Structure formats: C-alpha cells, structure tokens
Structure 1
Amino acid sequence: MAAVDYRLEAPELIRDFLQYHETIKNHSTRTVDAYYIDLRLFLRFVKWNRELVPQDTPFADIAIRDVNLDFIRAIKKADIYDFLSWLARDRHGKKQMGLSVSARARKLVAVRSFFDYLLLKRELISSNPAADIDAPRLRKTLPVYLNEPDAVKLLDAVRGPYAERDFCMLLLLLSCGMRVSELAGLNLKDVNGETVRVLGKGNKERILYLNPACQQAIQDYLSVRDETNVHPKDQDALFLSRNHRRISVDSIQILVKRTCSAAGLDPERYSPHKLRHTAATLMLQNGVDVRTLQEVLGHESLNTTQIYTHIDNEGLRTAARANPIGRYKKQESATNDGE
C-alpha cells in the first residue's frame, strides 16, 4: 500500500471519520489508511462522473479537499451503484480490467461506514444512501494451504546468510498461524519462554503458546541477531532486516515467494496468509477444536485478565503442540549457500 497521510489532504469530514476510527475504534494505521484510499477513490469518481472537473484532468489528480457537507448530502444511491459498476468494468485491477469482487466489497464497506458515521455519530445526514446496497457476492473458495510434507519441504529449503531469522519466521507462520503484520510487529519483550504476545487486528492482544520447535528456532535466531547499528526506532524489534530496521511485511512476503521457489513449490500460489491457512488446517486435522482455533488465530480477543495474569490455558497449549510442524527438526547438514 502506498504511503498516505490523510491528515494532509483529506477534507474535514473524512478526516474526522478517520480520526474516529483511529482513536475511538482503535483501528490500526493500515486499516485507517485503507479506508481513506477507498473513500478518496469514491469521491474522485463522483466528481468525475458528474463532470465537476475538466475532462482532461488525470483521475489521480482530482482533488477532494473541497468536498463539504453539501456535496456529501447530494450523493445518492445511484452514485454508489455507478461507482460499483465502474469498479467492476473500468477500474484497473492487478491482472485485468475491473477490480475483484472482494476489492469492490471492501470499498463498499468503507463508503457505507462513512455514511453510517455521518448519520449515527454526527447526525449530519438524514439517511445512509449505501445502507440497502447489497455487497458484491463473494465466490466461496476453500483456503489454499500446504500439506504437511510440503510445509516441511518449505522449511528445509531455507538457506542464506539470514537462515536462522528466515527459518524462525517461516516456522512461526506455519506453527502459530500469525498474520504477517503480527509477525513483523513482534518485539523482543513479546517473547517470554514458551509464550509470545501478539498484537492483532484492532490492536487486540492475545497470548500464543510456542511449541518446542518454535522456542528453539527463536533461541537460534537470537544467538545470531546482529544488534549493531540498529536504528534507534527499531531497537526492540524481534526480526531485523539486513539494513538493521524492523523487518517489513513486504520483505516477509518476498521471503515466502523465494523459499517456495527454492522448495519447488508454486510461488504464485502461496503467500504468508496461505501459511496461516496451513497452520489452521494442520491444527484442525490434528484434533484442535474450532473454538480454540478461533482464539489461536485471533478471531476473538483475549480478555484483560488473561493477558496480564498469564493464565495457563491448556487448550491453547494443546493447540500449539498439536501442529505436527512443531515436531520438525532442522537438518544439521543444511548449508547457508544462498541469499
């Protein structure tokens, strides 16, 4: 996602809405930025569709700073339908004209949420024009995941000068089912023996138990973690890049693709999120109940008592040990002969 700062360019109503999500709803910066990008796209479209800007104005140059309450109140349901149609037919996607169903649905959520805020929280409008618009129907697909032999192949393929770090990150993704943003955001203080504290969506914390393989991988990585010349801002980051900064989400995604290629797996098919699916599937296949799995994956937040008293939840401990990847032993003969 391109770097944005809504505080510099958003009109007042949009800025207030985003600040509400950032401070009251406690949504992450990444989520708030995504809302802004979607709303900016919508408002640019409305201006363009109503011919309120010169025809030769590049779409990306359409300013929205002048959008005010009168402009917002004039938006009708037909404008939103036109927007969804334009997204489906004319907006550039990654591989084709028209955005995916999931991308269109996400943009509709942003628009509906904005109008809900104006209606229910600010009482500035009399109705939400997006309220009754059905979201584009998502095609139900089974999650893509690695089977156990392929997961082992992926781990065996780790090579290079940062092998301990890369192996540790991949093992955590495959064993704990972390989101890639959660993995990148880990700090040294989050690791406490057999547990790790994870900051999930909406800044909700949860405690995960580490199986013996993960504990050993973290110890192996920490023994070679280079603490020299670390950027002051990133001193507490668990995983560091070769530039001595906190590892980025993009870098982890590249690592997964590169290691998949080395393992003879399709790099276009697998991503860090697919490794999260892998962890979930392997746990389910090995006896973890769905309710416990929801807690492991962070679909429900831990309550404050659990976080601060470190209650020994045997269900979470069992989930950590049930994943067969936790019994993986690193091959001693592996050599660090790549990048």
Structure 2
Amino acid sequence: MTQGKLPKILKDFLIYLTTITGKSQRTRNEYQYDLVLVFRFLKAVQEDLPTNEIHKVDISDITIDWIKELSLEDLYLFLEYCEVQRQNSAAARARKVATLKSFFKYLKGKRRLIDENIAEELEAPKLGKRKPVYLNMEEATVFIHSIEGRLHSKRDLCMMMFLLNLGIRVTELCSLNLNSIQDRKVTVIGKGNKERTVYLNDACMTALESYLKERHIFKGSGEEPLFVSQKGTRLTRQTVAKIVKKINVAALQRDNLTPHKLRHTSATMMYKAGADIRSLQHILGHSSVATTQIYTHIEDEQIQEVMNNNPFNNLIM
C-alpha cells in the first residue's frame, strides 16, 4: 500500500513516531504494516469480505469516527485471525499488540480524539523465555581466524571485532562515522537516537588501526562513515548480515548466524567474565535492565558442576 492511500490519522501517527519519539524508519514501517493489516481485516469483517483477499481492501476512507466504533473484542478477533489464519508466532502477535497499544495511547493521550482507550486492557500472548543463541569461545575464535585471507579482510575483521567486543547492534555499527571515535572511545547512536560511549579495548584498536590503513575512500556526501564498501558507500545492515553469513559458511556452518547473534555472544561472554548487570546494560544500550537480564542465564553444565562441587556431595550415608 502506498503512503498516499493511507488514512490521514495513520499518517499522522507514523509522523509522530519518527519526529517525536525518534523511532527508526524500520520500526515505523513495522507499525505501518501492523496497522494497515488490522484496519483491512476489521473492515473486511464489517463488509463481509473474504479474509484471504484483505490485501485488496481500501482503507483510505477510515476516519476517527470509524475507529471510535471499534471494541476490545474486535482487537482480539484480529489477534485470533493472525494466529489461526496467518499462523503468526506468539512473538509476532505480541508485536501487533504493542503496535495497537501505542496507536490507541496516541489517539487518547496525545490527540484527545477518543474517550476510551480500548487497547489498554489488551493482553499480549505469553512468550516463553528463550535463552539467547550465541557462540562459545572456541567457535568465536574459529569464526574470527577464518576472516584472514578473505577479500576486504581488514575491514571485515574490524567489524566483527566491534560486534564481538562492544556488543553493538548492526544498525549502530553501520551508522558509525570516522568522527565517532575519539582516542579509545566510540560514541554509539542507539535506539531513539540515544547516545552512549563505549570503550575500545586493545583488540578493537589493533583491528581498527589495521583497517584504516587500507580503508576505501568515501564517495558520498554528508558525514564520513567508518565502514565503507568497495564502491565508496556506507555499508548497510543487510550487507553486514551477508558478510557474517559468508564467514559462517566458511568457518562454522552454524544455523542462521546473524550479527544479532554475535551481539548475544558478546553480551554472554562479558557476563561470564564478570561484568555486572548495570555495566552490561550501559554497554548494550538497553533502556531497561530487564532486557539485559536475559544474559544472566546459567548453562546446564555450570549448574551440574555447582551441584557436583557441593561439599555435601561427598557425604556417604
């Protein structure tokens, strides 16, 4: 659906997301996708249209009066459709709940366009606690050593060292500029345009100094990016993901290894090495310490070792 066919109230909300709350374009697109889907579905239900053709439903005429007629039951009906017909996972449905809550909160709290926020009581599906997927030290070592001899090895090694040592997001890595680095510190722009400063350890400094000696010339405009493609353009997160995939295929052949899993690897290893949870929260750029706490998991093998080392284990009845 093109931007021109969106209802005005949705356009206004999307502009608010990026200009006021500082959401990224990617997040804005996700909110747009979710809200377009819910509007099309509920309009199809009202007009008794087949739900397998909701992509044809025109929502350009949706107004605040139409939205005022919606109920909490309508939202649950939409979530049921997502689960049963679209076979969305619990995580995908939880994201849609978050989108709806944000949208209706905006309508009531920011715009004063509705008297009742029907999404306030909307419950998200329960998500099972998943341990972060990460590389162990041996796998990470093999991964790093396999970069040597590759095309653009100095650049790729520097990027991988930043991901593994700093635990930064791939979008943060791509947005780094030459002037982001001062001495041994790098300024990272995280979610919501929040800045944080992260220390560069010896491994990062060595990889950086080696890369800068053969860095490609930037041929674009604006601030000079740190990581540049052979064509002289800023690297994108998709390109970095492809680089990680190629290194993985040559070195480990782990299932679906992504830059985000390298971030998990960094965080897990830092925690195992004794990093306290608050320091880790700052390094990773988490707004809530609850997010950081997923890295405080303990391996089953470690639990078994603790139990075996219990002094009472030596008692024989």
Partner SS state of residue 186, structure 1: coil
Cα deviation code 1:176-198 (max 9, x no counterpart): 00011101111111012211111
Pick aligned residue for 1:26 from 17, 22, 28: 22
- The answer as to 2:128 corresponding to 1:132 is no
In the alignment, the residues of structure 2 paired with residue 173 and residue 236 of structure 1 have an alpha-carbon distance, to the nearest angstrom, of: 20
In the alignment, the residues of structure 1 paired with residue 2 and residue 183 of structure 2 have an alpha-carbon distance, to the nearest angstrom, of: 38
- The answer as to 2:241 corresponding to 1:245 is no
Task: Give the aligned partner of residue 13 of structure 2.
Answer: 17
Contact 1:168 1:217 in 2 (8 A): yes
Task: Give the aligned partner of residue 33 of structure 2.
Answer: 37
Deviation at 1:110, TM superposition (A): 0.6
Pick aligned residue for 1:120 from 87, 102, 109: 109
- Letter of the aligned partner of 2:269 in structure 1? L
Cα deviation code 1:262-305 (max 9, x no counterpart): 1123142x21111111111111111111111000000149xxxx
- The answer as to 2:216 corresponding to 1:220 is no
Structure 2 unmatched ranges of 5 or more? 289-317
Task: Give the aligned partner of residue 292 of structure 1.
Answer: 279
Deviation at 1:57, TM superposition (A): 8.5
Cα deviation code 1:65-86 (max 9, x no counterpart): 2111111111111211111111
Partner SS state of residue 213, structure 2: helix
Partner SS state of residue 40, structure 2: helix
Partner SS state of residue 283, structure 1: helix
* Larger Rg computed on CA atoms: 2
In the alignment, the residues of structure 2 paired with residue 243 and residue 127 of structure 1 have an alpha-carbon distance, to the nearest angstrom, of: 53
Cα deviation code 1:87-127 (max 9, x no counterpart): 11111xxxxxx111111101111111111111111111121
- The answer as to 2:63 corresponding to 1:63 is no
- Letter of the aligned partner of 1:143 in structure 2? P
- The answer as to 2:178 corresponding to 1:188 is yes
Deviation at 1:218, TM superposition (A): 1.2
Task: Give the aligned partner of residue 94 of structure 1.
Answer: none
In the alignment, the residues of structure 2 paired with residue 64 and residue 79 of structure 1 have an alpha-carbon distance, to the nearest angstrom, of: 16
Cα deviation code 1:206-248 (max 9, x no counterpart): 00000111011111111111116x2335x61111223322111
Task: Give the aligned partner of residue 205 of structure 1.
Answer: 195
Pick aligned residue for 1:110 from 77, 94, 99: 99
- Letter of the aligned partner of 1:214 in structure 2? C
In the alignment, the residues of structure 1 paired with residue 276 and residue 142 of structure 2 have an alpha-carbon distance, to the nearest angstrom, of: 27
Pick aligned residue for 1:100 from 89, 101, 104: 89
Structure 1 unmatched ranges of 5 or more? 92-97, 302-339
Task: Give the aligned partner of residue 274 of structure 1.
Answer: 261
Q: Which has the higher contact order (CA 8 A, sep 6+)?
A: 1
Partner SS state of residue 196, structure 2: strand
Deviation at 1:51, TM superposition (A): 2.5
In the alignment, the residues of structure 1 paired with residue 55 and residue 234 of structure 2 have an alpha-carbon distance, to the nearest angstrom, of: 31
In the alignment, the residues of structure 1 paired with residue 217 and residue 146 of structure 2 have an alpha-carbon distance, to the nearest angstrom, of: 26
Deviation at 1:26, TM superposition (A): 2.0
Give the 3 Å change call, closer, same or farther, for CA 61–236 of structure 1 in structure 2. Answer: farther
More off after superposition, 247-256 vs 59-68: 59-68
In the alignment, the residues of structure 2 paired with residue 232 and residue 274 of structure 1 have an alpha-carbon distance, to the nearest angstrom, of: 32
- Letter of the aligned partner of 2:15 in structure 1? Q
Q: How many residues are matched?
A: 287
In the alignment, the residues of structure 2 paired with residue 249 and residue 105 of structure 1 have an alpha-carbon distance, to the nearest angstrom, of: 25
